[in-house]
Amino acid sequence: MELAQLKEAVIAGDMARTKSLTEEALEAGIEPASILNDALISGMDKVGELFKVNEIYVPEVLLAAKSMQNAMGVLKPRLVDSGIQPRGKIVVGTVRGDLHDIGKNLVAMMLEGAGFEIIDLGNDVPAEKFVEAAVENDAGVIGMSALLTTTMHVMKETVEMLGEKGLSDKVKTMIGGAPVTASFASEIGAAGYGDDAATAVDLAKEFLEG
Amino acid sequence: MSMDLLELVNSRPILGDGAMGSILQERGFKSGDCPEAWNLDRPEAILEIHQAYRDAGCDYVETNTFGASTIKLARYGLDAKVDEIVAAGVDLARRAAGDTCLVGASIGPTGALLEPYGDHTRDQLAEAFGRAATVLEREGVDFYLIETMSDLNEAALAIAAVKEVSKKPVAATMSFTKGAKGHRTMMGTSPQEAGIELIKAGADLVGTNCCSGPEAAAEIITEMAQSTPLAVIAQPNAGLPELKDGRASYPESPEAMAEGAGNLLACGARVIGGCCGTTPAHMASMGSVIKGR
């Protein structure tokens, strides 16, 4: 049993094989943290790289992320037993008035694949709910998605609300979605803009790990 | 209008419909509303938009049924009203079209992803498309336009659902974004592959819509034409939206879109319409170029 095989199974999006290899790795006595970091997260890192340069597209990324989720079903109890903490907590959602969630789900799965704990608020999420969820869960990042040009203002409201509550340093905002641009992000004072799901992962690492 | 879409396309270049969604905002559409619910709640607004496009010279108007599938309507809690919403959509388009132009049935993506990467089965999507197509056909449209598709499998299911209930022409267009490998749909399909597969699935005409502008559309059509001579439909956006004072504005002027339309004709496009950000003024301006030839 080699972790390289497991990593390859994640990259290939082979759900059944990812799960069975994870079970084998645990039986072989490999540390859960090592399985997570050296195979699963490392595999998802590679998936993110391939996605960024258009070597693979949304279906392949979703299959890889689902494979990782499968493996996590097996691995999670063991990680908890050994006291492994997630890399940090991130609140995600599609903003108020917007019911499009394909992009948001992709980002959530990629962030989860990178080892973050995700609090997914779904779609149609108002500014106050993003802020409340971040405070309640002690999350360091809020990720917001919009597909419609009519809903992007909710991102601004969320950023402003964090500012009013003095939370701007503690909770970073990152935004994305088809009509969203880097210049819009800087205009509203969001901490980051992700052109794709892989960039969202890079931003989260930067915000939560420096 | 006595000719059907295919006869019309063979006889001359034709001017497609302009945007619906982005126009609704000017009439008080709020984010979170369901655009297709306006067929029942604000029918006069939808009718006026269709009439404005007819008066601008569009050779067809598209029913306001882009998202009228049970799967998408369920997000608004309106899936039980699907038949009513679709029927009203056809009625409004037909009333505006009269004998002046054709009525195209708009069918957009469900917003759900197919297994194994998504959580919906092929049967679920086929059923949703079939329900809408049945009502569209019963109420009497002139042709079908399956549009803004990203996933070839979903597009093929929509085409099959229409073919099951109708013998009318079926046009299918996909939405591409330019990345490191050139134009691809979100799911990774190239224009050439899209052309081959959509025709194989039964489409009579193919092309692209909701791309960043007429230049991108010209590139896509040129690539798609390498795999099929039926790659003739281009319905680009009026550029990429910019947010001004909390409202989206689209940068391309009617004149710029008209110039783009001329270039699209030169690239082999025969059906040129407009997607997000286009207005009756854009369509009239494009029409002067398209119909002038």
* Stretches in chain A below the pLDDT threshold 50: none
Average pLDDT, chain B: 95
What confidence tens digit (pLDDT) does each residue in A110-167 have?
999 999 999 999 999 999 999 999 999 999 999 999 988 888 899 999 999 999 999 9
Q: Which amino acid is at B172?
A: A
Give pLDDT tens digits for B132-157.
999 999 999 999 999 999 999 999 99
The reported pLDDT for the residue numbered B2 is: 64
Q: Is 80 exceeded by the pLDDT of residue B194? A: yes
Q: Residue B242 has which token pair?
A: 């910019």
Total CB pairs under 8 A between chain A and B: 72
Q: How far is B80 from chain A (nearest CA, A)?
A: 18
Residues 6+ apart with CB under 8 A from A120: A92, A93, A104, A108
Architecture of domain A89-209: 3-Layer(aba) Sandwich (3.40)
Separation of alpha carbons B144 and B168, rounded Å: 7
Indicate yes or no: CB of B117 within 8 angstroms of CB of A102: no
Name chain B contacts of A15, Cβ cutoff 8 Å: 116
pLDDT band at B280 (very low <50, low <70, confident <90, very high): very high
Is 80 exceeded by the pLDDT of residue B247?
A: no
Domains of chain B: 5-290 (3.20.20.330)
Rounded to an integer, the average pLDDT of B28-55 is 95
pLDDT score of B1 more than 80: no
The pLDDT assigned to B159 comes to: 98
The pLDDT assigned to B201 comes to 98
A187 to chain B: closest CA residue: B243
CATH 1.10.1240.10 holds for A3-81? yes
Question: pLDDT tens for residues B65-101?
Answer: 999 999 999 999 999 999 999 999 999 999 999 999 9
Interface of B with A (CB under 8 A): 22, 25, 29-32, 75-76, 111, 113, 116-118, 150, 179-181, 184-188, 240-241, 243, 246-248
| End-to-end CA separation in angstroms for chain B | 20
**pTM of the predicted model over 0.90:** yes
Distance (Å, whole) CA B136 – CA B90: 7
Which amino acid makes up residue B216? A
Residue A102 neighbours by CB under 8 Å, 6+ apart: A58, B111, B113, B186
Position A72: which residue type? M
pLDDT of residue B249: 86
Say if the Cβ atoms of A98 and B32 lie within 8 Å: yes
Q: A119 or B292: whose pLDDT is higher?
A: A119
ipTM of the complex, rounded to two decimals: 0.90
What is the domain partition of chain A in residue ranges? Answer: 3-81, 89-209
Please judge whether A149 and B181 are an interchain contact, meaning their C-beta atoms are less than 8 angstroms apart: no
Is residue B248 pLDDT above 80, yes or no?
A: no
B293 has pLDDT over 70: no
Contacts A66 to B, Cβ<8 Å: 116-117
